[in-house]
Chain A
Amino acid sequence: MTSPDARWRPTAALGRALVTAAVAVAAALLFGDPSLVVIAVPFVALSTLGLLHRPTRVPTCQARLDHVALHEGQGTTSRLSVTDADDAEYLTRSHGRPPYVAVRPQRGQVGALLAGPDGPAPTIELSPRRWGRRYLGDEKVALVTPWAGYRFGPVSLAGQQLRVLPTTAAYDSRADAPQPVGLVGAHRSQRPGGGTELAGIRPFMAGDRLRRVNWRVSLRTGDLHVVSTRAEEDTGVLLVVDALADHGASGGVDGTPSSLDLSVRAASAIAEHHVRSGDRVALRVVGRGRELVGFGTGARHLRRLQHTLAGLRVGDVAEADAGVLQLGVTAGTVVVVLSPMLAESIGAVAATLTRRGVPVLVVDTLPPDVRPALVTETDPEVAALAWRMRSLERAAVLRRLASLGCPVVAWRGPGTIDDVLRRLARRAGQPRVVAR
């Protein structure tokens, strides 16, 4: 700690007590007025006791968080370790007020009498209310000696950073993936195999396992019949998150969501569901950071996806069209686009992939009552008109996508995409014309 404030200084109270005592005693002696000595007595005592507790050591303070990565709505504790604080009696902490972080005690200010040199310093509880990287702001710490004669600081401690992962919304889907092509997994395949889902009963062929024989049908027909099942395979899910802009005001995990809140939380929920189902999940963020996570499975991969979502950067990309279109979609991949569908490039990529025969699902994440944020000196009527025109264009894009066969659903939490995935799965089994 090399801050110029990191030293002990006499307090204003000590100076005031000294001046009052000295002037009162001097005036009493000069004017021969004992009443001034009577008034000065407490100040003589206070200044003497304050001076007697002159500190001799320089304390050092260090704050640390119990956790540096949390989900939205979870909480952690900021602890302060103080060394060489034998001379101090009272400690005050004043934390910054970062946006989207709830602090307890309120305003992040707390003080407490120290229980001794090794006693615990007061703690501050923090709870991030929105995903993302949260800079907690500088913290000020002050120490005061007994009888308030000297104060150390307030010194600034560098703010810490918290990585806030999107909340794991309760999400489940019972729908099968449209085009499972992997080796193992939980989705019902179009081809027969060693799964558990009944495909039919057929005559026995060489190579069939004896435990597959259906004895009831075999006795009735007089020939051996076996139960055939569908194979169970995994699938690849590519999540495309539109981070070109954030529409609407975010109220945090308990408040109204912005478009990006919905996108990120929905992406996290879908990713978690598919990873737990054994599917391969990839992530592509269309935004300033152009974050990309390749296909993978497992808990570690899910953690990587969530960390990437938490660190995404909002903003336009320089060459949106070229960047967006290079998604690297392979056969058997389901593309889930999470977007408020206000950017032309996102609509274009969804349409292009649908024409190529890739199962594409658009999750509309534009909040229903969103209004554009007005720049100062903008005419509200002009802004309202512009927003209305933009909404009409958006509706036209959604209609065109629907006519191409690309379903668009608004995010409603659990079961949002079940019906759509089922329809996509049915359609995948039918013959179709694909544009090359």
Chain B
Amino acid sequence: MNAALTSVAELSRSQLVLRALIVLGPMIAVLAAGPAGHWPPWWVAAGMLALAGVFAAVPESPVGGGVMLAVLGWWAVALDDGLHPAVLVAAVALLVTHLASVLASYGPGEMPVERALVWLWVRRGAVVLLGVPLVWGLAVLLRDQPDQPGVWVVGLVAGLVTTVVAAVVLTAPQPGEDRG
């Protein structure tokens, strides 16, 4: 406990802000389902808080992926018609969490995060966030349209291909890596 408190006390102010965002993001993303009529039970919120706390403590750990999947799972389970505007809040909250962990991972926790780097990622975040309302608006427009035959199959195949390509790229030897 003392070691944990010591490590928190050694964090720079900017790192503390980032860690707070990492904790708050998933909580907001889950609670955003509330206005859409699906408030999470206390144990879901508590579990999410615990996971987010671990993620904030170790921003580069695989727990981060688990946090993201837990939020996705809650939205998938809780909503039948997920195109409530609250999903935009959830998308923003998850993106902020991800970017905060990216910024926190650039150096040791004691190192202050450079202002220029923060602004760079704020701009990048704003750019990638542009697609969210566009896709949401498109989905709302197409909600009442009948499904095209095979559209879901094509989408699934596209997703699988993307996943395989990404896996191949990630597992390919990197520069400087011993290929023997």
What's the Cα separation between A113 and B132 when bound, in Å? 28
Known: A18-B166, A38-B91. A12 touches B111 (CB 8 A): no
Closest to A111 in B: B107
Q: Which of the 9-residue segments A25-33, A181-189, A209-217 touches chain B?
A: A25-33
Min CB gap B113→A, angstroms: 8
Q: Is A11 an interface residue (CB 8 A)?
A: yes
Q: Is B21 an interface residue (CB 8 A)?
A: no
When distances are taken between beta carbons in the complex, the residues of chain B under 8 Å from A38 are: 82-83, 87-88, 91, 132, 135-136, 139
How many residues of B sit at the interface, in one of the four size bands? 35 or more
| Other-chain contact of A35, B79, B152, B170 (Cβ < 8 Å) | B79
Known: A39-B72, A90-B106, A113-B120. A19 touches B65 (CB 8 A): yes
Asked if B68 and A19 make an inter-chain contact with CB atoms under 8 angstroms apart, the answer reads: yes
| Other-chain contact of A25, B83, B127, B159, B170 (Cβ < 8 Å) | B159
Asked if A90 and B117 make an inter-chain contact with CB atoms under 8 angstroms apart, the answer reads: yes
Known: A10-B170, A19-B68, A113-B120. A42 touches B131 (CB 8 A): yes
Q: Is B155 an interface residue (CB 8 A)?
A: yes
When distances are taken between beta carbons in the complex, the residues of chain A under 8 Å from B155 are: 25, 29
Asked if A111 and B114 make an inter-chain contact with CB atoms under 8 angstroms apart, the answer reads: yes
Q: Which of the 9-residue segments A45-53, A68-76, A193-201, A272-280 touches chain B?
A: A45-53
Asked if B76 and A31 make an inter-chain contact with CB atoms under 8 angstroms apart, the answer reads: yes
Asked if B82 and A13 make an inter-chain contact with CB atoms under 8 angstroms apart, the answer reads: no
Q: Which of the 9-residue segments B1-9, B44-52, B97-105 touches chain A?
A: B97-105
What's the Cα separation between A321 and B112 when bound, in Å? 56
Q: List B residues at the A interface (Cβ < 8 Å).
A: 59-62, 64-65, 68-69, 71-72, 75-76, 79, 82-84, 87-88, 90-91, 94-95, 98, 101-102, 105-108, 110-111, 114, 116-117, 120, 124-125, 127-129, 131-132, 135-136, 139, 143, 152, 155-156, 159, 162-163, 166, 169-170, 174-177
Q: List A residues at the B interface (Cβ < 8 Å).
A: 6-20, 22-27, 29-39, 41-43, 45-47, 49, 51, 54-58, 90, 92, 94, 107, 109-113, 142, 144, 147-148, 150, 152
Can you list 29 A-B pairs with a CB-CB distance of less than 8 A? A7-B174, A8-B176, A10-B170, A11-B102, A12-B60, A12-B64, A13-B101, A15-B62, A16-B64, A16-B68, A17-B98, A19-B65, A22-B163, A25-B155, A36-B75, A38-B132, A39-B75, A39-B94, A42-B128, A43-B68, A43-B95, A46-B128, A56-B175, A92-B107, A94-B108, A111-B107, A113-B114, A113-B116, A152-B176
Apart from the given pairs A29-B159, A37-B139, A39-B94, 15 other A-B contacts in the complex at a CB distance below 8 Å = A12-B60, A13-B98, A20-B65, A23-B69, A31-B76, A34-B82, A38-B132, A42-B131, A43-B95, A45-B127, A49-B128, A58-B176, A107-B108, A110-B111, A111-B114
